[in-house]
Amino acid sequence: MLRSVESFLGYRISAKDGEIGAIESLHFDDNSWKIKYLVVDIVDFFNSERVLLFPTLAHDMSWVDESIKVDLTKEQIKSATPYSADLPVSDQHELLEGKNLQSLYLAEPWSGSVLPLWIPQASKESEDLVTEIGDQNLRCTKLVKNRAVKSKGEKIGQLKDFIIDTQDWSIRYLVVDTNGILPYGDVLLAPHHLSAWAQDDSCIEADIDSEALKSCPKYDSAEAVNREYITKYFDYEGRFVRSEHSSDNYSKLDESLK
């Protein structure tokens, strides 16, 4: 099924032996547009920690109970890969900034204030350090939310949400909010329209101009991404011409809606 990421953030994790933690965000590969990890926030009376779970372990997402079943015990989830072991790009740069912008400070004896004496500049070594820190294609849905979407350097909107297929855990569409920039509201764009993330993760370039965006079917978060919407989107993309006698067309739609 196609679901909005925002719609199930906060869902409880139902392990084999009880509930533990909740979904905080998703990490995805910006080349394959596949979800790599579910980020689970484990909270107890004493502390809070985040772990990374493979989405293939998850099933039976319940909209009634607001929970997701995972084929692990609570103890296995607690000992899962920690968040810090595979940082997404935004966190990599934050870590790099902390390492690269460490300053020497000099206290003003007359005021008691502390002033930076020297701030080192970013260098090629900094880029190498980012590469060593982690995967340069790993993004976090929570951290890239509200990032600018640009076309030929001009801002045309910002990322608002993601529509994923919970069968294979792939990102099928990105929700782009054009409000305040272009009068087109929220629209869905397939991932192949988006590429070339900024090195600092601040924006992403799209291969679609404002006129093409104007014609894109509008997205309403209050409605499910159903057969009717996907049909309109396929028409918009021009992938094929629909015909009431073309079972092949609708078999493609069925694949999109699984």
Quick: pLDDT tens for 112-132. Answer: 444 444 444 444 444 454 445
Q: Which stretch, 96-100, 129-133, 137-141, has highest mean pLDDT?
A: 137-141
Distant-in-sequence, close-in-space partners of 188: CB < 8 Å, separation ≥ 6 = 163, 173, 174, 175, 176, 216, 217, 219, 225, 229, 233
CATH for the 6-85 domain, from 2.30.110.10, 2.30.30.240, 3.10.20.600, 3.40.50.10860: 2.30.30.240
31 forms bridges with which residues in the sheet?
Answer: none
Residue 207 has pLDDT above 50, yes or no: yes
d(CA 1, CA 11): 17
pTM: 0.77
- Per-residue pLDDT band at 228 (split at 50, 70, 90): confident
Q: How many residues does the chain have?
A: 258
Domain 141-257 in the same topology as domain 6-85: yes
Q: Pick the closest to residue 184 from 195, 172, 175, 171 (CA basis).
A: 175
Q: Positive or negative CA dihedral for 217, 223, 225, 231?
A: negative
pLDDT of residue 86: 94
The mean per-residue pLDDT over the stretch 243-255 comes to 46
d(CA 25, CA 10): 9
Q: Residue 151 is encoded by which pair of tokens? A: 């076309």
Render pLDDT for 31-82 as a digit per residue (tens, 0 to 9): 999 999 999 999 876 677 999 999 999 998 998 999 999 999 999 999 999 9
The mean per-residue pLDDT over the stretch 96-125 comes to 48
- What 8-state DSSP symbol labels residue 218? B
pLDDT of residue 13: 97
CATH of domain 141-257: 2.30.30.240
Domain ranges of the chain: 6-85, 89-134, 141-257
> What own/partner pairs with CB < 8 Å and gap ≥ 24 does 73-80 have?
73/15, 73/16, 73/17, 74/15, 74/16, 74/17, 74/18, 74/20, 76/15, 77/13, 77/15, 77/20, 77/21, 77/40, 77/42, 77/51, 77/53, 78/20, 78/42, 78/51, 80/40, 80/51, 80/52, 80/53
pLDDT of residue 85: 93
Q: Residue 70 is encoded by which pair of tokens? A: 């995972």
- Per-residue pLDDT band at 238 (split at 50, 70, 90): low
3-state class (DSSP) for residue 230: helix
pLDDT of residue 143: 94
Residue 28 has pLDDT above 70, yes or no: yes
Q: Which residue has the higher pLDDT, 45 or 110?
A: 45
d(CA 4, CA 174): 9
